[in-house]
Amino acid sequence: MADIREQDMIATRDGRDVSFFDLYSIDQLSLEDIEIIYDIARKFREHKTYKFSLNKWCSQVNVFFENSTRTQASFDLAAKNLSMDTVSVGSSSSVKKWESYLDTIQTLDSYNVKTLVVRSSEAGVAEVLSRHVQASVLNAWDGWHEHPTQALLDGITMLDYFGTKDLKGKTVTIVGDIRHSRPFGSLVRLCKKLGAEIRVATPQTIATSHVENFWLTLYGDIEEAIKDTDVVYTLRVQEERGAKGFVPSLREYSKMFGISRKRLDLAAPDAILMHPGPVIRDIDVHSALSAVDSQSHILQQVENGLAVRKSLLWLLAFRYDGKQKTFTRK
Ligand code: CP
């Protein structure tokens, strides 16, 4: 007999399933999928870190070939809060001994795990691997391509703050290193699905074909981009990926595009400040704004990350419709 909190979760889910078995791109999601994920995530958020038995007897491997704090910790905690067993492999795995990604992932799949969370530096890895394993593959970012669970946690943060079902009539200004950012591609896709107007403020030297491909409006002037916007979403300058080669210096970048109190005050009076983390204080965002300012929703994003990932793990590990994923061994 399910306890009262589990009954609450089961009632919230109401027999619903999402339309996908793996999550590698926001393009896969219908508006109905997003609504199901968010309804369940909100309920998990209410129950905080309560230990559910919803995914008991299920296991997860976190396969992280690149560094992470938030994504890895929250996927691991999410699984454990659902009573899953978890194990992590990454930079010390046998990939270092020339084992291919495919052989690695099929090896881990042979442990009959339910979910494989994959972060890699190459675009498309999660999607390709998902076709050849029984487990559901969740993309924890792939190269400069997508970071779908980051966008989902960003979306719920915006919707819950505005108290709306979509972002129609809202303006989201994305500031910073769109060239090297992992969250950018997914964030733009999700904001478009939810109906937001998107502005991009970045140095011309960092702007990419994304701007034309997604029909975005590019601003070289940060003040103009922020004026009256509802969300200021800042991205980290990815120095380790060579971003410094695209700007004269980090100090100059900060002067031109860093978010200060004065700049944030140009946004709409109830605007919020968001950042996927990690924040480089005093480069992307002025230190005083980063965590404690009432307009900063950066830690709310982190909290929502746990709830959204829990929602996805439950939806993918347990289906009411009895449908099964198809895949081919290679
Ligand atoms: N936002 C994000 O993906 O952070 P981590 O790299 O710490 O996981």
Average pLDDT (76-84) is 98
Torsion-angle region of 324 (φ positive above 0: left; ψ -120 to 50: alpha; else: beta)? beta
What is the DSSP code (8-state) at residue 179?
Answer: T
- Least Cα distance to 257 among 170, 317, 174, 313 occurs for 174
Centre of ligand 1 from the C-alpha of residue 290, in Å: 16
Which residue do the tokens 């905690």 mark? 77
Assign domain 4-147+303-317 one CATH number from 3.40.190.10, 3.40.50.300, 3.40.50.1370, 1.10.490.10.
3.40.50.1370
pTM: 0.96
Query: What was the pLDDT predicted at 280?
Result: 87
Average pLDDT (22-41) is 98
Query: How many other C-beta atoms are found inside a 10 Å radius of the C-beta of residue 169?
Result: 11
Centre of ligand 1 from the C-alpha of residue 8, in Å: 30
Backbone angles phi, psi at 175, to 5 degrees: -115, 130
- Verify whether ligand 1 is closer than 6 Å to residue 68 (CB atom): yes
Bridge partners of 199?
173, 217
Centre of ligand 1 from the C-alpha of residue 311, in Å: 18
Torsion-angle region of 305 (φ positive above 0: left; ψ -120 to 50: alpha; else: beta)? alpha
**Is there a contact between 52 and 83 (Cβ–Cβ < 8 Å)?**
yes
Q: Whose CA is nearest to atom 4 of ligand 1?
A: 70
Query: In what helix (H) or strand (E) does residue 303 lie, and over which residues does it extend?
Result: helix 298-317
**Identity (one letter) of the amino acid at 296?**
S
Share of the chain above pLDDT 90, in %: 78
Q: Whose CA is nearest to atom 3 of ligand 1?
A: 71
- How far apart CA 305 and CA 313 sit, in angstroms, is 12
Domains 4-147+303-317 and 150-296 share a fold: yes
Query: pLDDT at residue 239 above 80?
Result: no
pLDDT tens for 271-313 read 999 999 999 898 899 988 887 789 999 999 999 999 999 999 9
Centre of ligand 1 from the C-alpha of residue 302, in Å: 9
pLDDT tier, 326 (very low <50, low <70, confident <90, very high otherwise): very high
Centre of ligand 1 from the C-alpha of residue 324, in Å: 30
- Verify whether ligand 1 is closer than 6 Å to residue 150 (CB atom): yes
pLDDT tier, 243 (very low <50, low <70, confident <90, very high otherwise): low
- How far apart CA 250 and CA 192 sit, in angstroms, is 30
Average pLDDT (168-175) is 98
**How distant, in Å, are the alpha carbons of 25, 228, 313 from that of 211?**
18, 21, 33
Structure tokens at 212: 């034309």
The larger pLDDT score, comparing residue 210 to residue 94, is at 94
Q: Whose CA is nearest to atom 6 of ligand 1?
A: 68
Rg (CA), the chain: 20
- Verify whether ligand 1 is closer than 6 Å to residue 91 (CB atom): no
Q: How is the chain split into domains, by residue range? A: 4-147+303-317, 150-296
Centre of ligand 1 from the C-alpha of residue 283, in Å: 17
With a CB cutoff of 8 Å and minimum separation 6, the contacts of 80 are 51, 86
Instruction: Report the C-alpha dihedral over residues 22, 23, 24, 30, rounded to 10 degrees.
Output: 120
Residue 147 Cα: closest atom of ligand 1:
3
- Verify whether ligand 1 is closer than 6 Å to residue 148 (CB atom): no
- How far apart CA 77 and CA 169 sit, in angstroms, is 35
Query: What was the pLDDT predicted at 242?
Result: 57
With a CB cutoff of 8 Å and minimum separation 6, the contacts of 304 are 41, 45, 153, 156, 157, 160
Average pLDDT of the chain, as a whole number: 94
Please state the length of the chain.
330
Give the CATH number of domain 150-296: 3.40.50.1370
What is the DSSP code (8-state) at residue 146?
Answer: B
pLDDT tens for 102-130 read 999 999 999 999 999 999 999 999 999 99
- Verify whether ligand 1 is closer than 6 Å to residue 277 (CB atom): yes
- Verify whether ligand 1 is closer than 6 Å to residue 69 (CB atom): yes
Share of the chain above pLDDT 70, in %: 97
**Identity (one letter) of the amino acid at 151?**
A
Backbone angles phi, psi at 217, to 5 degrees: -100, 120
